[in-house]
């Protein structure tokens, strides 16, 4: 099991969401976390935008990892949203984004939170996996692809 799959229930994977801006996709993520975890959507969107102001969370290749620190949160939470149409995201390669993995962490971020981000970035660096995540029609199958992905093992 990878770190992302441990914090990503299948109910938090949305495919083919029809939004036209970063603001709208952040609002959709806020609503998802509000409905699933009773975190006020404004808290989620405000924290995502606060992080985004520091620099784009777009990685390139049409993917982004928006993330934020949430006061009072006890454990990291994740959601995956795939869009019908790519949106501008100020990514380093200027490519619009249509695959987003949201990560919320407790206010006092720890090394494990950085490791989760690093593992998500490693996962999204695979062109084959990105394409499979983009082309899979069913949200449960997208979740399954993520759940079965294994990070490269480091040699100690």
Q: Is 41 helix (H, G, I), strand (E, B) or coil?
A: helix
DSSP 108-154: S--HHHHHHHHHHHHHHT-HHHHHHHHH---HHHHHHHHHH--PPPP
Active-site annotation holds for 85: no
What whole-number distance in Å separates Cα of residue 49 and Cα of residue 30?
11
Catalytic residue chosen out of the listed positions 61, 67, 113, 143: 67
Catalytic residues: 67
């Amino acid at each position: 099991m990878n770190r992302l799959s441990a914090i990503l229930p299948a109910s938090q994977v949305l495919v083919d969401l029809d939004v036209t801006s970063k603001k709208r996709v952040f609002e959709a993520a806020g609503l998802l976390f509000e409905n699933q975890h009773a975190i006020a959507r404004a808290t989620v969107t405000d924290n995502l935008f606060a992080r985004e102001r520091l620099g784009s969370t777009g990685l390139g290749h049409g993917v982004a990892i928006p993330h934020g620190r949430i006061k009072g949160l006890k454990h990291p939470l994740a959601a995956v949203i795939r869009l019908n149409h790519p949106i501008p995201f100020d990514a380093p390669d200027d490519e619009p984004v249509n695959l987003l993995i949201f990560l919320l962490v407790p206010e006092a971020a720890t090394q494990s939170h950085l490791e989760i981000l690093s593992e998500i970035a490693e996962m999204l660096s695979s062109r084959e996996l990105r394409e499979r995540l983009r082309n899979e029609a069913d949200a449960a199958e997208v979740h399954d692809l993520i759940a079965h992905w294994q990070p490269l093992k480091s040699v100690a």
